[in-house]
Amino acid sequence: MIRVLFVCLGNICRSPMAEAVRNIVKEDGLSDKIEIDSAGTGDWHVGNPPHEGTRKILDTNRIDYIGMKARKVFTGDLTRFQYIICMDAENLGNLHRMAGYSETGFIGRLMDFVENSEIDDVPDPYFTGNFDEVYEMVTEGCKGLLKTIKEENNL
């Protein structure tokens, strides 16, 4: 099983949005080969459902998020997941500090998987309110990530 963890700050906006976009994995017939989860580097929202703005955009796009609850990244995640995908440089740095010198899965940013992207970070709609734009970025990044996973794992 290939495991992917999406990470943002509070795990209520961007990373659960990316987790919910697992429908592209299902459409590709890879649900039995790829497991997807999300977490935050902060603990402010642990146990809460996705943000109202995230729920609204997922509802609009008929994407299921039932049962999703925010959680904080824990050290074991760094070895359990082969792909740890951050939404921005701040979370990338937090995870690298958490990992220290231990061996981990791949840690990178979601926008690294968007060809010719001039944007490095997915902005946080908790502060900006731009859930539509973020959804488009997350979807494009997830499609690029899935392509990479398929190539690297001969799927």
Catalytic residues, by residue number, are 8, 14, 124
For the record, the structure tokens of 125 come out as 């709609």
Q: How far apart are CA 64 and CA 148, in angstroms?
A: 24
Contacts of 92 (CB under 8 A, 6+ apart): 86, 107, 108, 109
What gap in Å lies between CA 112 and CA 121, rounded to an integer?
9
Question: Tokens 């001969």 — which residue?
Answer: 154
> Whose CA is closest to 91, among 2, 4, 14?
14
